[in-house]
Chain A
Amino acid sequence: MPLRLVAPEWSLLVPPLIVLGTIVLLLAIDAVSERAARKTALPLALVGQLLALVSLATVDWGQGATTFGVSYRADWFALVVSLIALVSGILSVLVSAGYTESGLEPGVGLAEYLALLLFSVFGTMVVGAAGDLIVLLLGLEMSAVAVYALTAFARRRLTSVEGALKYFLLGAFASAILIYGMAWVYGLTGSIVLSDIAHTLRTVVTPGQPLDPALLLALLLLAVGLGFKIAAVPFHMWTPDAYQGAPTPVSAYMSVVPKVAGFAAVARVLVQALQPLSDQWAGLLGILALITMVYGNVVAIAQRDLKRMLGYSAIGHTGYMLAGLAAFTNGLAGDRSVGSVLFYLFAYAFMNIGAFGVIAWLQERGLGTTLDDVAGLAGRAPLAALTMAIFMLSLMGMPPLLGFYAKYYVILALIEAGQLWLAVAIVVMSAVSAFFYLRVVTQMYFQEPGGTWRPVRTPLLGLGLTLMAVATLALGLVSGPILELAQHWPAALT
């Protein structure tokens, strides 16, 4: 019997293929001439991702077309995830500018760094477009494996290697749990295709009734595995160590894109495949959200290292986003839950990469990463201090910055879903978070500078930071179109 090989619908794959092509080109140039690679790698990575971003417009996402059987879905959700991943990727490359040259080991190549970064972006795009559990898992792992390597990139620095090792070991542990959960789902439904799973489950699950124990076990195992990817408490413990240890641009990147991949996976697996179990998982996510936001925001207060503090703050933000998912009601048009999370991720990319970017900018100038190092920054570099203050205030959720709108939509979703207690928790935790975000601002503006200051020029990094600061300031005012795009998700996931 001959093999049935069906050519995939290439036109749907253009954006990820452009990213892949960029990776190949990067590695090829590096193989031919390392000197040429050092010069061309950064622009190439930028142009490649920009092209991919533009090419998103060539695909008709409204159709929800599939290819490779049903393994790859080009629907609204895939579009928004790809968009966020590419934007974050571009911003991360901008943040990496300069630092990969001076802060990292000179012998370790820029091309490989960027190739790994793009691999991770590619993996995230695959998660967003995954139509079955295996493709989803592979995308998730690709986005993670590349980041494991990137975390250890400053390999002569012990914290970097140690953070990477912890991340890797625990990541493998969590993946095992995740795969075990997937195996259970396959066993119980006989399918790995997300839409088929939902279809099968609808026939066996009666809403409001207790679940079959095995099905519940599968759900919980999946939740644990995915909870690790998005750093939800108590599966978060790798986060601060890895964020602190990694080279700062990598911290910037890993604070956003793997989280995007994680949330995309949560949405694909829980919201799409396990939608009939929404009674169970919405409550579970609500509890996880509460624990996560409380723990992350409270412990962040005790930190003196900025990268570590941002690590805990990232945990807190995971809590807010989980709360957005917990606001899931029925998956029909008008349900804001997943849309609000997608918008949150979009907003989060700008402010968090920006905040890490400012730290990288300071490290370029010979400073460390603790609170004492930013003391008196306003006197030394007023623009950098202003940028950092914008990011901090936005992370805190100060209107009219981007972060405020992000939180606002999540709270709106919660209120519409009737989950008032989570909405209140978000507001209270935002107030707690003011403690450590504002501490950075007061340090910058009301303290005397210390440490040595080495003035250098980092135009590309400066450009990136300006871009992000302006976006954080202004995008909130024009958030309509992005939000509208994100609100199309029920068409893709239900």
Chain B
Amino acid sequence: MSLQVLIFSLLACVSILGALGVVIARNPVHSAIGLVLSFLNVAAIYLIARAEFLAVVQVIVYAGAVIVLVVFVTMLVHPDDLPEFHGRRPLRIVTGLVLGVALLLEVAAAVLTRSLSGAPGPWTDEAVAAVGGNTQALGQTLYSDYMLAIQLTALLLLAATIGAIVLARPEAVSERVAAARRTLTISLAHPRGLDQPERPPALPRPSDGQVKPAGSGRPIVLARSANEFTEQPAWGEWRTP
């Protein structure tokens, strides 16, 4: 039993390290590798819990298919086009760290001092063995007790798929659209959605900001403060106030 706990702790630690790597790594490919690491460890944890079917699914679907997609997309996107999420904002990083640690401590305190624990479910080792193993037991449960959940999940995925397809569908080819696409970059580091000031200040021009030459000749305008560009209409002409 103690060996099991030891292995679990190891796997969990590696998995967390992998997840941290995803966040910390600057290179997106490194992030993807961290993700694979994390996923594989989670699969191993499933194995310890004797859920071998889940472990296999975890490896095939997540470590396999999902990661392939992630790497695929990463390779397709020019690294210069990727938004800079945490460049030069130390305050935010520190705040995030502090909050994360605080939450961790709080959860730890709650976990360590708790006196409640739920009743174990009906699937004891014997019950699982009686229906022919973990996979069978899982299937039984999913298609009886969780029938509605399964169906709803399918519908949820359908909705998400429709949304994704609609948003990514190629546009009708026309001059206007093509022209529009060239000037548009979305960067969450330089947002446009902001509370508008009572009196709009003098509008900044792109030339006032720092212009970073991008790889494909597409200029990315970096705002110096969050208040810049908020009055600029996202689409169409400048409107004189």
Residues of B within 8 A of A135 (CB): 148-149, 152
B124 at interface, CB cutoff 8 A:
no
A419 at interface, CB cutoff 8 A:
no
How many A residues touch B, CB cutoff 8 Å? 77
Residues of B within 8 A of A217 (CB): 106-107, 110
A477 at interface, CB cutoff 8 A:
no
Q: Decide if B188 touches A165 in the complex (CB within 8 Å).
A: yes
Q: Decide if A1 touches B152 in the complex (CB within 8 Å).
A: no
A5 at interface, CB cutoff 8 A:
yes
**CB-CB contacts of B93-134 with A at 8 A, as 1s and 0s?**
000000000000011011101111111110000000011100
A142 at interface, CB cutoff 8 A:
yes
Within 8 A of B (CB), among A239-286: 240-242, 244-245
**Least Cβ–Cβ distance between A52 and chain B, in angstroms:** 16
**Least Cβ–Cβ distance between B112 and chain A, in angstroms:** 9
Complex partner residue of A213 from B114, B195, B198, CB under 8 angstroms: B114
Q: How many residue pairs between the two chains, A and B, have CB atoms under 8 Å in the bound complex?
A: 177
Q: Decide if A142 touches B155 in the complex (CB within 8 Å).
A: yes
Residues of A within 8 A of B106 (CB): 217
Residues of A within 8 A of B109 (CB): 213
- Given contacts A119-B159, A166-B193, is CB(A187)–CB(B164) below 8 Å? no
Complex partner residue of A138 from B153, B162, B167, B186, CB under 8 angstroms: B153
Residues of B within 8 A of A212 (CB): 114-116
Within 8 A of A (CB), among B163-193: 163-167, 169, 171-172, 177, 180-181, 184, 186, 188, 191-193
**Least Cβ–Cβ distance between B2 and chain A, in angstroms:** 22
**Least Cβ–Cβ distance between A228 and chain B, in angstroms:** 16
- Given contacts A142-B159, A152-B167, A217-B106, is CB(A162)–CB(B186) below 8 Å? yes
Residues of A within 8 A of B234 (CB): 157-160
The residue in chain A whose Cβ has the minimal distance to the Cβ of B172 is: A107
Taken together as a complex, chains A and B put the C-alpha atoms of A288 and B230 apart, in Å, by: 30
Q: Decide if B186 touches A126 in the complex (CB within 8 Å).
A: no
Q: Decide if A240 touches B186 in the complex (CB within 8 Å).
A: no
Most buried by A among B119, B121, B155: B155
The residue in chain B whose Cβ has the minimal distance to the Cβ of A156 is: B180
Residues of A within 8 A of B181 (CB): 156
Q: Decide if A68 touches B148 in the complex (CB within 8 Å).
A: yes
Q: Decide if A145 touches B146 in the complex (CB within 8 Å).
A: no
Q: Decide if A116 touches B163 in the complex (CB within 8 Å).
A: yes
The residue in chain A whose Cβ has the minimal distance to the Cβ of B165 is: A112
B143 at interface, CB cutoff 8 A:
yes
A69 at interface, CB cutoff 8 A:
yes
- Given contacts A68-B147, A217-B106, is CB(A304)–CB(B166) below 8 Å? no
Residues of A within 8 A of B171 (CB): 105, 107, 156
B140 at interface, CB cutoff 8 A:
yes
**Least Cβ–Cβ distance between A219 and chain B, in angstroms:** 11
Q: Decide if B166 touches A1 in the complex (CB within 8 Å).
A: no
B69 at interface, CB cutoff 8 A:
no
Residues of B within 8 A of A27 (CB): 162
Taken together as a complex, chains A and B put the C-alpha atoms of A1 and B131 apart, in Å, by: 6
**Least Cβ–Cβ distance between A307 and chain B, in angstroms:** 11
- Given contacts A1-B132, A5-B143, is CB(A158)–CB(B148) below 8 Å? no
The residue in chain A whose Cβ has the minimal distance to the Cβ of B137 is: A1
The segment out of A188-196, A326-334, A422-430 that lies at the interface is A188-196
Residues of A within 8 A of B184 (CB): 156, 158
Taken together as a complex, chains A and B put the C-alpha atoms of A303 and B162 apart, in Å, by: 34
The residue in chain A whose Cβ has the minimal distance to the Cβ of B232 is: A158
- Given contacts A152-B167, A240-B193, is CB(A112)–CB(B162) below 8 Å? yes
Q: Decide if B196 touches A214 in the complex (CB within 8 Å).
A: no
A148 at interface, CB cutoff 8 A:
yes
Residues of A within 8 A of B216 (CB): none
Q: Decide if A190 touches B169 in the complex (CB within 8 Å).
A: no
Residues of A within 8 A of B110 (CB): 213-214, 216-217
**Least Cβ–Cβ distance between A130 and chain B, in angstroms:** 9
Q: Decide if A72 touches B115 in the complex (CB within 8 Å).
A: no
Residues of B within 8 A of A148 (CB): 163
A215 at interface, CB cutoff 8 A:
yes
Q: Decide if A126 touches B152 in the complex (CB within 8 Å).
A: yes
A403 at interface, CB cutoff 8 A:
no
Within 8 A of B (CB), among A1-57: 1, 3-6, 8, 20, 27
**Least Cβ–Cβ distance between A482 and chain B, in angstroms:** 28
- Given contacts A145-B159, A240-B193, is CB(A108)–CB(B166) below 8 Å? yes
* A-B CB contact pairs (8 Å), 27 listed: A3-B140, A71-B147, A71-B148, A72-B148, A116-B166, A119-B159, A134-B149, A142-B155, A152-B167, A156-B180, A156-B181, A156-B235, A157-B234, A158-B234, A163-B193, A188-B114, A190-B119, A212-B114, A212-B115, A212-B116, A213-B114, A214-B114, A217-B110, A302-B198, A304-B197, A305-B196, A308-B195
Interface residues of B (CB under 8 A from A): 106-107, 109-111, 113-121, 130-132, 136, 139-140, 143-149, 152-153, 155-156, 158-160, 162-167, 169, 171-172, 177, 180-181, 184, 186, 188, 191-198, 234-235, 239
Interface residues of A (CB under 8 A from B): 1, 3-6, 8, 20, 27, 68-69, 71-72, 105-109, 112-113, 115-116, 119, 122-123, 126, 132, 134-135, 138-139, 141-142, 145-146, 148-150, 152-153, 155-163, 165-166, 186-191, 200, 204, 212-217, 240-242, 244-245, 299, 302-305, 308, 368, 370
Additional 20 contacts, C-beta under 8 A, given A71-B149, A132-B149, A216-B110: A4-B140, A112-B165, A126-B152, A135-B149, A135-B152, A146-B163, A149-B160, A153-B167, A156-B171, A156-B180, A158-B234, A160-B234, A162-B191, A166-B193, A186-B118, A191-B118, A214-B110, A240-B195, A303-B196, A368-B239
List of 6 A-B pairs having minimum Cβ-Cβ separation, nearest first: A149-B163, A190-B118, A241-B193, A214-B114, A68-B148, A190-B119
